[in-house]
Amino acid sequence: MGPMEILWLTVLLFFIGIALVRGYPKELGIITLIFGLLFIITEFGIVYLPQLFDTIAAQLSLDSYDQRTQEHLVSITLSLIFILVLFAGYAGNTLAFPGSPARGGKGFILNVLVGLLNGYLIAGTLWWLQDVNNYPVTATGWLTLPLTPVAETIAAWLPPYVAPPVFWAVMVVVMLVLRVRK
């Protein structure tokens, strides 16, 4: 596979396309969901999941369980949870903001901006789960290390590195207030 930044950019463009098709009111609901997931993953998942896997490995007396195995398990588990919850959010009609999208150029620009934010949050969170777990995906051959200088620069700006967990919780509250206001 190619450099990480190419994969990241591809996912980003994919979600811009989705936003153009679905419209920003529905995508704002997904952003709310992502903010909640980011809070749960960064505040609890990345802290308690390794402890849970350590406990399970100790109870089962697994000899082959080491730090690298734990990183693989944490990365895979949190990535799958993130993707499955997003899939459920996209498949359902939950949290869609009321109203219809603006028409013309204004609607197009809003769709692109919201899609860009969605793509950044989704691709960035999945990348961060790799980065914080020392890139277990390299074992599969999907990625080779070291990262390119461009990828290193982008990696410093991934969503969980940009804001602390409490920011994501506050953003959920803000989005819910915006969703229910009349």
Taking only the tens place, the pLDDT of each residue in 49-100 is: 999 999 999 899 887 788 888 999 999 999 999 999 999 998 876 677 777 7
Percent residues over pLDDT 70 in the chain: 95
* pLDDT tens profile 133-157: 988 877 666 677 888 899 999 999 9
Q: How many domains does the structure of the chain reveal? A: 1
Please indicate, yes or no, if residue 37 is contained in any of the structural domains.
Answer: yes
Per the CB < 8 A criterion, the answer to whether 134 and 37 are in contact is no
The HSE-up count of residue 93 (CA atoms within 13 Å, CB side) is: 1
Instruction: Note the Cα 71 to chain centre separation in Å.
Output: 17
Please give the model's pTM, rounded to 2 decimal places. Answer: 0.90
C-beta of residue 136 within 8 angstroms of C-beta of residue 79 = no
Residue 116 is predicted with a pLDDT of 96
Q: Considering the domain boundaries, does residue 98 fall inside one?
A: no
The answer to whether residue 18 is domain-embedded is: yes
Look at residue 35 and tell me if it is in a domain.
Answer: yes
User: CA-CA distance, 63 to 45, in Å (whole number)?
Assistant: 24
Is 99 domain-assigned? no
Domain assignment of residue 158, given as a range? 4-93+105-180
